[in-house]
Amino acid sequence: EAQVTQNPRYLITVTGKKLTVTCSQNMNHEYMSWYRQDPGLGLRQIYYSMNVEVTDKGDVPEGYKVSRKEKRNFPLILESPSPNQTSLYFCASKKGAGAFYEQYFGPGTRLTVT
C-alpha cells in the first residue's frame, strides 16, 4: 500500500531532551516536507526536501533540523525541544519537486514538551 508513515505517533518529552521523529514513504517520491499544525493556524511548513541531500527552510524552521540521506526517509530532529514546540506534526511527500503533483500526508505525530 502506498503510504507515508511516521513514528512515533505520540510522544511526551521534557524540555531539552533531543528527539527524532521519523518519516518514510514507499512511493519513490522526490519531494518530502514537514509541517506543524496548531489550533486556528492551519499547517505551517517547517522544512522541505526537493531530492536527496537537498533540504530547505519552510516558514517556521527555527528549532528544527532535517536530513535527507535516502529518498524514502526524511527525519525531523529537535535538538533541544521547548514547550512552544508542542504541536501536531505531519510529514508529506509528492512525486516531483515541481508544481502540480498531489501531496500525500502521514497520519501525524502528536508531540508534547513539558
Partner 1 sequence: GESVGLHLPTLSVQEGDNSIINCAYSNSASDYFIWYKQESGKGPQFIIDIRSNMDKRQGQRVTVLLNKTVKHLSLQIAATQPGDSAVYFCAENWVSSDFNKFYFGSGTKLNVKP
The nearer residue to partner 1, 8 or 16, going by C-beta atoms, is 8
Buried b (16+ CB within 10 A) or exposed e, 6-21: beeeebebeeeeebeb
Rounded to the nearest whole angstrom, what is the least distance from the CB of residue 33 to partner 1 in the complex?
7
CA–centroid distance for 56 within its chain: 12
Should residue 43 be labelled a site residue for partner 1 when binding is judged by CB under 8 A? yes
Should residue 108 be labelled a site residue for partner 1 when binding is judged by CB under 8 A? yes
What is the C-alpha separation between 74 and 92, in angstroms, rounded? 10
* Candidate ranges 16-24, 51-59, 67-75, 78-86; the one touching partner 1 (CB under 8 A): 51-59
Should residue 45 be labelled a site residue for partner 1 when binding is judged by CB under 8 A? yes
Closest CA to 56 of 69, 42, 66, 44: 66
Rounded to the nearest whole angstrom, what is the least distance from the CB of residue 103 to partner 1 in the complex?
7
